[in-house]
Chain A
Amino acid sequence: MSQATSNDVRTRLDFAIDRLLADHPPATTEPAAFWGAQFDAGLAWVHHPEARGGLGLSPRWLTHVRERLATAGADQSNVRFNIIGIGMGAATLVAHAPDAMQDRMLRPMFTMEEVWCQMFSEPGAGSDLADLATSAVREGDVWIVNGQKVWTTLAHISRWGMLVTRSDPDAVKHRGLTYFILDMQADGVEVRPLHQITAEAEFNEVYLDDVHVPDDMRLGEVGAGWSVAMTTLMNERVAIGGGVPPRGSGAIADAVAAWTNHGHDDPVLRDHLVELWIEAEALRLTSQRAADARTAGTPGPEGSTAKLHWAELNKDVTTFTMDLLGADGMLYPGGYDLHAPEMGVQPAQTPQKAFLRARANSIEGGTSQIMKNILGERVLGLPGEPRVDKDVPWREVPR
């Protein structure tokens, strides 16, 4: 994009943002009403088409919109809370859903009237997602779905779910999958909280028992569920706008606070603290560099390392913070009363809870081991491991 065109886009975008803010001042507008107006102005996700909450622009403008709205004091908690829908579901619907379904679902997703969840992982299909076993059997215009999903964020309050099923067990595993939008209020859908080691239940198990799914809720062709699922996964966090956290924020802030509050002065601990502080900056500046490169249209490998880097660093920092806490590290303030997060309520945070929660960082959204395979094979071009499940019908794969 030439500089002149880029400036034209910015001018047009700023005009739309100015008008949204003038017509719906964030200070005096209910968040849901503001989000509706934002959607109608095409400012919900500017990289999606017009009349779908977007303006058909490059995703690089997302950050600009988010920053301008943040500066104006607009509540953007919908993006954080309805993250599965806004972060991944919207792009999947835009790419694969019929027009009528997009008209029906996108706006209430963005206004958070309808929360979304994603049902991909299963007890037997974690890193090897394509091995999933939840079955979908077609009976005329309806599919009968049976199985169990797990690690389903927000399922307990979701209206809709993105569901991948096995529709053809005789096909090779990636080719026998079909993708649906599931009505979470349908008969046979049972959601149970999954209590994690922090005592919170951010996630759920979802049991599907003879659930009837109309064929018109299918996205993509029968047997093409894997490519639809890839759309979902590739868009993870794109719509969030690639915000770069401020220097010294996040887990390293807890470590610095623990250092100060406990009056530490040991040179070995100090060296390690500074080492971690630098590492947090290295990650932050790499995220900044990745965002700059996307803006400049010259993305490189710096855009692929953040997940792995962040997960491992967060574990290291939260673990070190426990050392700085000393005996307090043996406590769990607030106790282990099991509870599920509520809509719009940010649960209390302690360094001890952050330490426990960080264990999941290198599992969720792709384990660190899988991330290393991806970096090794797709970025560095190293050969893959020999596969025993290649070209074998799913039904015959040993498991």
Chain B
Amino acid sequence: MTMPPPNHRVATEARPSSTIQSLTLTDEQRALRDIARSFLRDRVGTDEVRRIMATDSGHDPAHWAAVAGMGWQAMAIPEEHGGAGYSWTEVAVLFEEVGRAVAPLPLLSTAMATAVLVDHGTDDQRATHLPRISAGDLLVAVAVPVDDAPAPTLVDGRLSGTVRHVVDGAVADLVVIATSDGAVLVATDRTGVSVTPMDVLDLTRPQAELAFDDVEVADADRLAGSADDVVERARIVGAVLLANEQVGLAAAVHEMGVDYATTRKQFGRAIGSFQAIKHLLADNLVALEAARSLAWHAARVLADDDVEELGIAVPMAASRCNETAAKLAADNIQVHGGIGFTWEHDAHLYFKRASSSRLLFHTPSWWRARLARTLDL
């Protein structure tokens, strides 16, 4: 019974022109992955994650300096600005490992800020900030609006208003703010800026509320392009890297569940021998590998700067990878049973990060609505 079903058409074309890079890892990318994985496992294991997330800032400067030593902040920064000049494909490889480790490192903010400065920074801003970001000496956050709250107003060089849900806002030195009149860089230590950490679901990725009370903004701190363009660039880069991070997180919880199902015995058998558990894990393997394909594709399209395909690849990855990570992290709690619901078990670290990340750049259905417009559906 192996006749191909009638509606399964065999393709005659090699591949869509949009997919130029192979959907595999090069030897260099594998090496990068292996180094990142072992560093995070050895230095930022979940005991360390728990220690950091219990601190007031949720951030450990010593780790930040250590990863600067590894060159992680420098990856996406052009060589002329003191960076390593890697493509987004390599950065995405790193993010998959960051997700696997639920690492509390402000790398997502750093990558978004890098993209904003490279694309919308003035020559002076790039020359001033990028080398310091690259060295791990400057932390820049980007306030990407995720609700309908009005943007802060910028009138006659004075900034007033509030932005919420600013990832790493409480530890950032500089923040990119989309205002009523363009996007600006604001130093968090300026007079009139108040920063309040928010009580967040996911303690591995702190958020802050930033209030601006008549804060002076110099013309030199204005970014080029409209506020919407700046936010869009940050959101696209952030969504692609977050999708890859979510894939790494999903892979980690899936492996955790498989390990547990292999060793945990009930009714005299490993619970993974029961088809109820086995089939759940098999379904989730399908979901995981499919999500990984979308995440890798999106990273390659971002690296190639294929604007047309970005309009399809990013919503696909943002919708599907976030859904998959949240589902697999939830299923991991279920596979573990009671122990998976305890604070002591790591399952909740992953579940909370996956569930919060799912909402970080709008919901999966928001991305699907966006894709529907692109596809004219």
Please give the residue numbers on chain A whose beta carbons come within 8 Å of chain B beta carbons, in ascending order.
67, 70-71, 79-80, 83-84, 87-88, 118, 121, 151, 153-154, 202-203, 236, 240, 243-247, 249-251, 254, 256, 259, 267, 270-271, 273-275, 277-279, 281-283, 285-286, 288-289, 292-293, 295-296, 298, 301-302, 305, 308-310, 314, 346-347, 349, 353-354, 357-358, 360-361, 363-365, 369, 371-373, 375-377, 379-386
Contacts and interface: CB of A to CB of B under 8 A. Distances in A.
Nearest to A252: B7
Contacts of B277: 382
Interface in B3-23: 3-16, 19, 22-23
B66 interface: no
* Most A-side CB within 10 Å, residue of B5, B279, B316: B5
Interface string B269-295: 110111101110111011001111110
Interface of B: 1-16, 19, 22-25, 258, 261-262, 269-270, 272-275, 277-279, 281-283, 285-286, 289-294, 296-297, 312, 315-316, 319-320, 365, 368-369, 371-372, 375, 377
A247 B5 CA distance: 18
A257 to B, nearest CB: 11
B279 A376 contact: yes
**Could you tell me the dominant secondary structure of chain A's interface residues?**
helix
A87 B10 CA distance: 14
B372 A270 contact: yes
B262 A282 contact: no
Contacts of A282: 290-291, 293-294, 316, 320
B11 A246 contact: yes
B1 A240 contact: no
B293 A302 contact: yes
Contact of A250 (B9, B261, B262): B9
A278 B289 contact: no
Contact of B10 (A80, A88, A364): A80
A154 B273 CA distance: 38
Given A250-B8, A279-B320, A382-B278, A293 B285 contact: no
Contacts of B319: 274-275, 278
A271 to B, nearest CB: 5
6 contacts: A84-B2, A245-B8, A246-B16, A285-B297, A357-B5, A376-B272
Given A153-B2, A382-B277, 15 more contacts: A250-B9, A270-B372, A275-B368, A277-B371, A286-B289, A289-B23, A289-B293, A301-B289, A309-B290, A310-B8, A347-B6, A349-B6, A349-B7, A360-B5, A379-B285
Nearest to A71: B12
B262 A382 contact: yes
Residue among B6, B7, B19, B281 having the largest count of chain A Cβ atoms under 10 Å? B7
B289 A305 contact: yes
Contact of A376 (B2, B278, B296): B278
Contacts of B15: 244, 288
A363 B296 CA distance: 31
Contact of A375 (B285, B290, B292): B285
Contacts of A236: 2
A87 B2 contact: yes
A249 B12 CA distance: 12
Contacts of B375: 274, 277
Contact of B285 (A88, A281, A380): A380
The 6 closest A-B pairs by CB, nearest first: A376-B278, A282-B290, A382-B272, A151-B1, A289-B23, A372-B282
Given A244-B15, A245-B11, A292 B24 contact: yes
Contacts of B291: 282
Contacts of B273: 382-386
A88 B278 CA distance: 29
Contacts of A121: 1
B9 A245 contact: yes
Nearest to B10: A243
Given A302-B292, A373-B278, A383-B270, A259 B3 contact: no
A188 to B, nearest CB: 23
Contacts of B6: 346-347, 349, 353-354, 357
A319 B145 CA distance: 38
A273 to B, nearest CB: 6
A382 B257 CA distance: 11
A82 to B, nearest CB: 11
A87 B278 CA distance: 30
Given A246-B11, A271-B369, A376-B281, A381 B262 contact: yes
B29 to A, nearest CB: 11
B24 A274 contact: no
B163 to A, nearest CB: 29
A360 B1 contact: yes
A83 B22 contact: no
Nearest to B291: A282
A383 B262 contact: yes
B275 A372 contact: yes
A118 B10 CA distance: 22
Nearest to B277: A382
Contacts of A289: 23-24, 292-293, 296
Contacts of A385: 273-275
A377 B22 CA distance: 29
A381 B258 contact: yes
A294 B165 CA distance: 43
B239 to A, nearest CB: 14
Of the candidates B1, B9, B258, B371, the one having the most CB atoms from chain A within 10 angstroms of its own CB is B1
B372 A293 contact: no
B316 to A, nearest CB: 5
Contacts of A245: 8-11
A274 B368 contact: yes
B133 to A, nearest CB: 32
Contact of A380 (B1, B269, B281, B297): B281
B5 A270 contact: no
A363 B7 contact: no
A305 B375 CA distance: 27
A296 B22 contact: yes
A271 B274 CA distance: 34
Nearest to A274: B368
A372 B377 CA distance: 34
